[in-house]
């Protein structure tokens, strides 16, 4: 695959351009409607149910459903379930759920290629009768060995010139289950010297004595994808069959089949697949990660699957915005994963309530604060959304702060807590550090400070300024929880770049998951519902894990940290 790694600034520039001019697919559809080639728009999203959907599929869905919506048409959800060896009902159910979660509307239009098997079979007999297909007794190995190469023509099968009667008889007996798996195929009779290898007598049917998740034992011959796909589009009256670039050189074959059969013809338009840094987007490789236990499942929050992203805290809107920004292109490129992270950050910034949580707690004792006193301080739920209101957070003599927010000997430009320094506790008071207490090993276990009662709410009456504001949680009121911090699943931008004999598995990032237990959360989080999203002040966006979190044993996933390298680079790119 020839891909170019586009720096962030280029992607932003491209996104800016594409917001001005309509993309090439929109233009093509506009032309078709203007010329009268089509008078409506019908598209489809055609996943094979052999794995869970990933962010690449989200891009395809945004295009398929997006174009239908843009032109007031319809988009079908169609399962390309032609290979019983790899497909399962579990995947069908998960895909339907994921498409719905993304918010795409397919109404009642859930279709299955397997519902068309009988019609496809009849069309295959048609082609045989027209002398355009033949039963071939070569083994799969022999078929590929005689295909030829890009520079050399293939060799014709010795069975190529069987008569129509013999072909019909053999094909019917294939269907009846008389022959073992792999012993025969039905092939299209096109041209073994064709410059496009897909046109060199491609296999249309193979014998597979397998039970299908929908048709059961009804069939023991199954259509090949290339034979089936164009027919499915034709049956459903698809006007614009939008697919990724790898199908470009299959298009002449789809056209050939439809022309030979003399049936309705959609227009196929190809777009570039989504590739993303630090990510693999192939169901085969994702399945390997799951099966070999490198991740906890298809919904592991580090996975680029829609389930993984959802569990991680991504919103459908953030994913849609991402797909909009990357636009639709004709050439493959690699998108920086930082753009996806940027999109979810922007979305959650508007919608996620702020709360305080201390991930690596250190006791802070306010020596001059009355023992046993508790104040309820007013905290703003979301400065971006005045309608989100305020809440009350308990404050008392003993608090937790982050270990990182105290240094006994501060490095240069360290403005947080150190002996003698004064900081603001968010929504509370100014406190000045007096000293710290250490254990036998010399670790700081407790920090002591005094507070200034005149700074309630975090403002000093005398205009005295501090250079840091820390988040905190009252020790007596804190709720405990587990927090899972995620880093990229792979340690290099292109995980598939490996030396011969090596596997992408070696590029896994050994530090992609860090589990913190005994984190201290503000008490309002005690009732946090599964899937709920928050901004932990100063730390990032987090959501309640939908699989492992229980009331009383909360588990949070970090969706994304606050720091936005993307926004910085993007601003530069715009200058
Ligand atoms: P994979 O290689 O991950 O198995 P696939 O293409 O085999 O993907 P399908 O289930 O056949 O997966 O894909 C359904 C639709 O999604 C197809 O139209 C395909 O072109 C599109 N699609 C799959 N991956 C991507 C991607 N990375 N970017 C854009 N579209 C994609
Ligand atoms: Mg596929």
* Alpha carbon distance 114, 222 (integer Å): 9
Edge-to-edge order in the sheet of strand 110-112: 42-45, 74-79, 110-112
Q: How many C-beta atoms surround the C-beta of residue 73 within 10 A?
A: 17
DSSP string covering 480-535: EEEEEEE--SBSSS-TT---TT--GGGGB-TTSEEEEEEEEE-GGGGGPPTT-EEE
Give the ligand at the shortest distance from the Cα of 273: 1
Average pLDDT, the chain: 94
- Classified as helix, coil or strand, 559 is strand
Say how many Å lie between the CA of residue 48 and the centre of ligand 2.
6
Give the ligand 1 atom nearest the CA of 50. Answer: 10
Active-site entry in 48, 125, 324, 375? 48
DSSP 8-state symbol, 14: H
Q: Which is more confident, 168 or 88?
A: 168
Kindly state the average pLDDT of the residues 268-289. 96
Q: What is the pLDDT of residue 332?
A: 86
Give the ligand 1 atom nearest the CA of 61. Answer: 16
pLDDT in tens, 21-72: 899 999 999 999 999 999 999 999 999 999 999 999 999 999 999 999 999 9
Q: How far is CA 83 from CA 120, 142, 208, in A?
A: 15, 21, 9
pLDDT in tens, 140-189: 999 999 999 999 999 999 999 999 999 999 999 999 999 999 999 999 99
DSSP string covering 130-154: TT-EEEE---HHHHHHTS--SSS--
DSSP 8-state symbol, 397: S
Task: Please calculate the CA angle 73-77-78 and round it to the nearest 5 degrees.
Answer: 125
Give the ligand 1 atom nearest the CA of 60. Answer: 30
Kindly state the average pLDDT of the residues 401-416. 96
Mutate to test the pocket of ligand 1, among 49, 54, 60, 66 (most ligand atoms within 8 A of CB): 60
Helix axis angle, 225-235 relative to 251-261, nearest 10°? 60
Instruction: Specify burial of residue 107 (Cβ count, 10 A radius: 0-12, 13-18, 19+).
Output: exposed
| Atom 23 of ligand 1, residue of closest alpha carbon | 57
| Atom 18 of ligand 1, residue of closest alpha carbon | 243
Residue 174: phi, psi to the nearest 5?
A: -60, -50
Q: What is the pLDDT of residue 575?
A: 45
Beta bridge partners of 425: 470
| Atom 9 of ligand 1, residue of closest alpha carbon | 47
- Are residues 67 and 43 in contact, defined by beta-carbon separation less than 8 angstroms? yes
Please, which pLDDT band fits residue 531 given cuts at 50, 70 and 90?
A: very high
* Alpha carbon distance 504, 281 (integer Å): 12
Please, which pLDDT band fits residue 331 given cuts at 50, 70 and 90?
A: confident
Give the ligand at the shortest distance from the Cα of 99: 1
Active-site entry in 214, 251, 273, 302? 273
Say how many Å lie between the CA of residue 278 and the centre of ligand 1.
18
Nearest residue to 319 (alpha-carbon basis) of 339, 296, 289: 339
Instruction: Specify burial of residue 43 (Cβ count, 10 A radius: 0-12, 13-18, 19+).
Output: buried
Active-site entry in 44, 189, 251, 283? 283
Give the ligand at the shortest distance from the Cα of 53: 1
Say how many Å lie between the CA of residue 144 and the centre of ligand 2.
20
| Atom 10 of ligand 1, residue of closest alpha carbon | 47
Q: What is the pLDDT of residue 3?
A: 39
- Out of 2-11, 178-187, 226-235, 554-563, least confident range: 2-11
Extract the runs of DSSP E, i.e. beta strands, from 354-506: 354-355, 357-358, 361-366, 375-380, 390-395, 398-402, 422-425, 430-438, 444-452, 469-470, 473-474, 479-486
User: Cα 117 to the chain's mean position, in Å?
Assistant: 31
Please, which pLDDT band fits residue 563 given cuts at 50, 70 and 90?
A: confident
Mutate to test the pocket of ligand 1, among 96, 104, 112, 244 (most ligand atoms within 8 A of CB): 244
Say how many Å lie between the CA of residue 283 and the centre of ligand 2.
8
Residue 42: phi, psi to the nearest 5?
A: -135, 120
Kindly state the average pLDDT of the residues 205-212. 97
Residue 142: phi, psi to the nearest 5?
A: -65, -40
- Classified as helix, coil or strand, 236 is coil
Q: How far is CA 550 from CA 382, 398, 544, in A?
A: 26, 27, 9
Q: What is the pLDDT of residue 127?
A: 98
- pLDDT of 15 above 80: no
* Alpha carbon distance 210, 84 (integer Å): 6
Q: How far is CA 345 from CA 101, 132, 172, 315, 540, in A?
A: 19, 56, 58, 10, 9
Give the ligand 1 atom nearest the CA of 53. Answer: 10
- Is 48 considered catalytic here? yes
Instruction: Specify burial of residue 20 (Cβ count, 10 A radius: 0-12, 13-18, 19+).
Output: exposed
Give the ligand 1 atom nearest the CA of 274. Answer: 28
DSSP 8-state symbol, 562: S
Give the ligand at the shortest distance from the Cα of 51: 1
- Are residues 540 and 559 in contact, defined by beta-carbon separation less than 8 angstroms? yes
- Is 283 considered catalytic here? yes
- pLDDT of 18 above 70: no
pLDDT in tens, 234-273: 999 999 999 999 999 999 999 999 999 999 999 999 999 9
Work out whether strand 42-45 and strand 74-79 pair parallel, antiparallel, or are unpaired.
parallel
What domains are there in the chain, each with its CATH number? 40-271 (3.40.50.620), 283-351+481-574 (2.40.240.10), 354-477 (2.40.240.10)
- Is 488 considered catalytic here? no
- Residue ranges lining ligand 1, Cβ < 6 Å: 46-48, 56-57, 59-60, 243-244, 273-274, 281-283
Mutate to test the pocket of ligand 1, among 50, 55, 57, 98 (most ligand atoms within 8 A of CB): 57
* Alpha carbon distance 187, 183 (integer Å): 13
pLDDT in tens, 336-349: 999 999 999 999 99
Q: What is the sign of the dihedral through the CA atoms of 496, 501, 505 and 506?
A: negative
């Amino acid at each position: 695959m020839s891909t170019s790694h586009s720096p962030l600034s280029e992607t932003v520039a491209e996104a800016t351009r594409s917001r001005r001019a309509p993309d090439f697919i929109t233009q093509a559809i506009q032309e078709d409607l203007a010329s009268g080639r089509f008078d409506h728009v019908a598209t489809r999203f055609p996943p094979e149910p052999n794995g869970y959907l990933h962010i690449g599929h989200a891009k395809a869905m945004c295009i398929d459903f997006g174009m239908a919506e843009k032109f007031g048409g319809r988009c079908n959800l169609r399962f390309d379930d032609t290979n019983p060896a790899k497909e399962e009902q579990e995947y069908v159910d998960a895909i339907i759920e994921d498409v719905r979660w993304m918010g795409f509307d397919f109404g009642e239009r859930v279709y299955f290629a397997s519902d068309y098997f009988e019609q496809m079979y009849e069309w295959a007999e048609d082609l045989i009768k027209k002398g355009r297909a033949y039963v071939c007794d070569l083994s799969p190995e022999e078929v590929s060995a005689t295909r030829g190469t890009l520079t050399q023509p293939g060799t014709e099968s010795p069975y190529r010139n069987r008569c129509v009667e013999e072909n019909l008889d053999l094909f019917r007996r294939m269907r009846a289950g008389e022959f073992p798996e792999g012993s025969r195929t039905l092939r299209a009779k096109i041209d073994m010297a064709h410059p496009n290898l897909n046109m060199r007598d491609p296999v249309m049917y193979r014998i597979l004595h397998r039970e299908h998740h929908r048709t059961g034992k009804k069939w023991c011959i199954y259509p090949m994808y290339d034979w089936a796909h164009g027919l499915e589009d034709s049956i459903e009256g698809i006007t614009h069959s939008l697919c990724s670039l790898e199908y470009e050189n299959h298009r002449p074959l789809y056209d050939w089949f439809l022309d030979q059969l003399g049936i309705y013809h959609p227009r196929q338009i190809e777009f570039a697949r989504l590739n993303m840094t630090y990510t693999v987007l192939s169901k085969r490789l994702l399945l390997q990660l799951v099966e070999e236990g490198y991740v906890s499942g298809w919904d592991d929050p580090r996975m680029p699957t829609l389930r993984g992203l959802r569990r991680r805290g991504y919103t459908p809107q953030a994913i849609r915005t991402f797909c909009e920004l990357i636009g639709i292109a004709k050439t493959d490129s690699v998108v920086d994963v930082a753009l996806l992270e940027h999109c979810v950050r922007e979305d959650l910034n508007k919608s996620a309530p702020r709360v305080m949580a201390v991930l690596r707690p250190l006791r802070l004792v306010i020596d001059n604060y009355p023992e046993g006193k508790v104040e309820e301080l007013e905290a703003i739920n979301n400065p971006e959304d005045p309608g989100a209101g305020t809440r009350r957070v308990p404050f008392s003599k003993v608090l937790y702060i982050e270990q990182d927010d105290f240094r006994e000997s501060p490095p240069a430009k360290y403005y947080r807590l150190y002996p003698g320094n004064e900081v603001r506790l968010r929504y509370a008071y100014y406190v000045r550090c007096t000293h710290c207490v250490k254990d036998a090993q010399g670790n700081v276990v407790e920090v002591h400070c005094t507070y200034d009662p005149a700074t309630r709410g975090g403002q000093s009456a005398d205009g005295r300024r501090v250079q840091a504001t820390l988040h905190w949680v009252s020790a007596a009121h804190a709720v405990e929880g587990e927090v899972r911090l995620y880093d990229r699943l792979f340690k290099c931008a292109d995980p598939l770049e490996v030396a011969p004999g090596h596997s992408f598995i070696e590029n896994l990032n050994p530090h992609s998951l860090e589990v913190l237990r005994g984190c201290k959360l503000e008490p309002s989080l005690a009732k946090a519902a599964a899937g709920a999203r928050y901004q932990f002040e100063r730390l990032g966006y987090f959501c309640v894990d939908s699989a492992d979190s229980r009331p009383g044993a909360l588990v949070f996933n970090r969706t994304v940290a606050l720091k936005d390298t993307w926004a910085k680079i993007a601003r530069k790119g715009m200058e």
